[in-house]
């Protein structure tokens, strides 16, 4: 029996491959555990349609991320922190605070985990903060840190 694998199966094949297996192995292991489906013309056509839909959705997500990146790079945000003695920053600005300010000042809902901030901002001035919107799209946001 020929089976289209839906997941990687050790010592048999990778996801998407069509493999020939014994009927008993297919009926008792592959099919019940949803590791594969029988390679009929209907199932093959359904898989092609499903892959086409996944590719279309991925392209739409990439396009949306590019549009959002353009919007982010055209804008900047301002964050204020207290100043200590001698004009030094008292505290720091974390990714969570930057995400909240983006939400309030720009009206965009950006998850704090998407901010690529190796350490909190501890100095006054303008900082460029990368935001990973998609695996292929990274936007740079200008963050102005001012003393309050």
Instruction: Delineate the domains of the chain, giving CATH numbers in brackets.
Output: 2-65 (3.40.5.10), 67-147 (3.10.430.100)
pTM: 0.70
Write down the mean pLDDT value for the chain: 92
Alpha-carbon dihedral 89, 92, 97, 98, rounded to 10 degrees: 80
DSSP sequence for 64-124: HHHHHHHHHHT-EEEEEE-B-GGG-BSS-B-HHHHHHHHHHHH-----GGGB--SS-B-SS
Q: Over pLDDT 70: what percentage of the chain?
A: 100
Closest alpha carbon to 33 in 51, 54, 12, 47? 12
- Using the predicted structure, report yes or no on whether residue 27 has a pLDDT greater than 90: yes
Structure tokens at 96: 């969570």
User: Tell me: the pLDDT tens digits for 33-60?
Assistant: 999 999 999 999 998 999 899 999 999 9
Per-residue pLDDT, averaged over 53-71, amounts to 94
Residue whose token pair is 């809902």: 109
């Amino acid at each position: 029996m020929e089976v289209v694998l839906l997941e990687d199966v050790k010592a048999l094949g990778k996801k998407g491959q069509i493999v020939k297996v014994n009927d008993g192995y297919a009926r008792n292991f592959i099919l019940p555990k949803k590791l594969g489906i029988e390679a009929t013309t209907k199932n093959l056509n359904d898989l092609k349609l499903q892959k086409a839909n996944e590719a279309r959705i991925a392209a739409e997500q990439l396009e949306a991320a590019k549009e959002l990146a353009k919007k982010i790079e055209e804008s900047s945000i301002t964050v204020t922190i207290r100043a200590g003695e001698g004009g030094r920053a008292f505290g720091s600005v974390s990714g969570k605070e930057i995400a909240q300010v983006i939400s309030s000042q720009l009206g965009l809902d950006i998850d704090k985990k998407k901010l690529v901030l190796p350490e909190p901002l501890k100095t006054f001035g303008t900082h460029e903060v990368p935001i990973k919107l998609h695996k292929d799209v990274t936007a740079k946001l200008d963050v102005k840190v001012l003393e309050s």
